[in-house]
Amino acid sequence: MQAEIARVQPQAAIAKSNYSGLRYREPVYRSLRELAMSYFEHYYNPRREKTLRQYSRPVNLRRFESIHRMTAEENVLAIPEYLTSIGHTALVSPRAVRRLGRVDDRLFAAGLVGAAR
């Protein structure tokens, strides 16, 4: 699962994902951590494991305009490569990760509404 998140105001985000819960957030969050945590329950893999563990500082996607990220027909690998190279902040402790439950049937089904197949 991938979500492209762009910061549009200090406490808001827009996102594109195949999962319905990983989309736009209103500008009501007081911090980046609070904004990232708003995605926590909806950030899971096909095995229904909650997988959001960390977040990075905001990235201005204009830095990738030279590679025409919006219109390029080939993969634009510079973006994920950059995202993996910058620092990240942990959201949950290793102990909390071990105690996480799986996503229930209802949330999983709701997350797939409108998903590309």
| Domain count of the fold of the chain | 1
């997350």: which residue's tokens? 111
pTM of the shown model: 0.74
- Within 8 A by CB and 6+ apart from 91, the residues are 33, 36, 37, 40, 52, 53, 54, 55
Is residue 15 within 8 Å of 58, Cβ to Cβ? Answer: no
**Domain annotation covers residue 29:** yes
Note down pLDDT in tens along the chain; length 117 residues. 345 455 445 556 666 677 777 888 888 888 899 999 999 999 999 999 999 999 998 888 888 887 776 677 777 788 889 999 999 999 999 999 999 999 999 999 988 887 766
**Domain annotation covers residue 117:** no
Environment class of residue 61 by beta-carbon count within 10 Å: exposed (0-12), middle (13-18) or buried (19+)? middle
Q: Which range marks the domain in which residue 75 is found?
A: 4-110
Q: Can you tell me the distance from the alpha carbon of 2 to that of 80, in angstroms, rounded to the nearest whole number?
A: 10
